[in-house]
């Protein structure tokens, strides 16, 4: 991921160069994998941050600047940097720390995640309560991700099937955005308190509240680790605030799909390759 942008644009190369300077081997992991290495949280987070920030830098150089922003889970750290709350180097250091702390919590208590499909929110939350599982990512209508320990997840998945839904295991190594991550959240907050955040240049919608960040970024960004991601509400709030075009930065089209399922009337674009950038520049007016 990110190789095509790096080959095509100097701005992307500058981002990956900084990542390699701060964390040697980041580019190699992004470009070459393997998937098993990238699945480790301590690697996933800095690599995605680099790929997302590289795409943002290219679009910025092309004159495309967002009116508002949001980031899904670790993407919120990249969004804080994009919005000017911290510089890119500080953001990268923070996401490296975040990944390490969350991996430590994941290893302390074996847990996992699954995406639940075809069931409504009330049914999913009820099943979670019955089986000691946590609803953690409210992605879009008909899709909620959950976290739980391995024993609970097996029983929960069977219950989901009985209720007419599907529980698809996610390729992550921990029960993120749940109480399993409380220690990581507290330790991350300690480090965030040492940072002087700058005023955001545009509104940044928080996973924690589905509202723009307030006056305490450290609290919002740290609490996000052990609380649900309110993505569907976030997307709806941004649309209510005037957003009609969303550009997903970094590899894949997952968020584009979630946004389209939330509101098919808006336009979505992904920005993970030179061809994507060309399309966006052709279809989206610069500002």
What is the number of helices (H) and of strands (E) in the chain?
A: 14, 8
Number of other residues whose CB lies within 10 A of the CB of residue 126: 15
* Annotated catalytic residue, options 53, 112, 177, 227: 177
CA distances from 43 to 30, 34, 36, 240, 260 (A): 9, 11, 10, 35, 29
- Which structural domains are found in the chain, ordered by start? 3-107+178-226 (3.40.366.10), 111-169 (3.30.70.250)
Nearest Cα neighbor of 76 from 108, 45, 100, 107 is: 45
pLDDT tens across the length of the chain (287 residues) = 999 999 999 999 999 999 999 999 999 999 998 988 998 999 999 999 999 999 999 999 999 999 999 999 999 999 999 999 999 999 999 999 999 999 999 999 889 999 999 999 999 999 999 999 999 999 999 999 999 998 899 999 999 999 999 999 998 889 999 999 999 999 999 999 999 999 999 999 999 999 999 999 999 999 999 999 999 999 999 999 999 999 999 999 999 999 999 999 999 999 999 999 999 999 998 75
Query: Residue 63 is encoded by which pair of tokens?
Result: 């004159």
Question: The whole model's pTM is what?
Answer: 0.94
Backbone region of residue 132 per phi and psi (left: phi > 0; alpha: psi in -120 to 50; beta: other values): left
**Residue 254 confidence (pLDDT):** 95
Query: Residue 182 is encoded by which pair of tokens?
Result: 């409380």
Nearest Cα neighbor of 145 from 200, 25, 265, 165 is: 165
**Residue 268 confidence (pLDDT):** 98
* Annotated catalytic residue, options 27, 53, 73, 185: 73
**Residue 223 confidence (pLDDT):** 98
Annotated active-site residue 177? The verdict is yes
Annotated active-site residue 227? The verdict is no
CA 16 to chain CA centroid, Å, is: 19
133 vs 136: CA distance, rounded Å: 9
Nearest Cα neighbor of 119 from 139, 94, 100, 103 is: 139
CA distances from 32 to 20, 36, 101 (A): 14, 11, 25
At 136 the three-state DSSP class reads: strand
**Residue 287 confidence (pLDDT):** 56
């Amino acid at each position: 991921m990110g190789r095509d942008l790096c080959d095509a644009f100097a701005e992307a190369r500058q981002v990956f160069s900084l990542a390699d300077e701060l964390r040697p081997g980041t580019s190699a992991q992004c470009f070459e994998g393997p998937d098993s290495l990238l699945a480790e949280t301590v690697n996933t987070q800095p690599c995605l941050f680099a790929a997302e920030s590289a795409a943002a830098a290219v679009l910025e150089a092309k004159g495309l600047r967002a009116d508002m922003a949001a980031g899904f889970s670790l993407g919120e750290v990249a969004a804080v940097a994009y919005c000017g709350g911290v510089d890119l180097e500080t953001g990268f250091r923070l996401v490296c720390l975040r990944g390490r702390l969350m991996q430590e919590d994941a290893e302390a208590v074996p847990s996992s995640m699954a995406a639940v499909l075809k069931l409504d929110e009330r049914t999913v939350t009820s099943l979670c309560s019955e089986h000691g599982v946590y609803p953690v990512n409210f992605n879009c209508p008909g899709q909620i991700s959950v976290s739980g320990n391995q024993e609970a997840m097996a029983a929960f998945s069977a219950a989901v099937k009985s209720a007419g839904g599907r529980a698809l295991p996610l390729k992550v190594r921990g029960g993120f955005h749940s109480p399993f991550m409380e220690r990581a959240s507290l330790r991350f907050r300690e480090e965030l308190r040492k940072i002087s955040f700058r005023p955001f240049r545009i509104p940044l919608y928080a996973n924690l509240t589905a509202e723009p960040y307030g006056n305490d970024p450290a609290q919002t960004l740290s609490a996000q680790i052990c609380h649900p991601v309110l993505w569907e509400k976030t997307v709806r709030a941004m649309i209510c605030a005037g957003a009609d075009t969303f550009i997903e930065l970094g590899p894949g089209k997952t968020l584009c799909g979630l946004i389209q399922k939330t509101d098919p009337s808006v336009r979505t674009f992904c920005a993970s390759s030179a061809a994507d950038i060309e399309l966006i520049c052709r279809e989206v007016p610069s500002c």
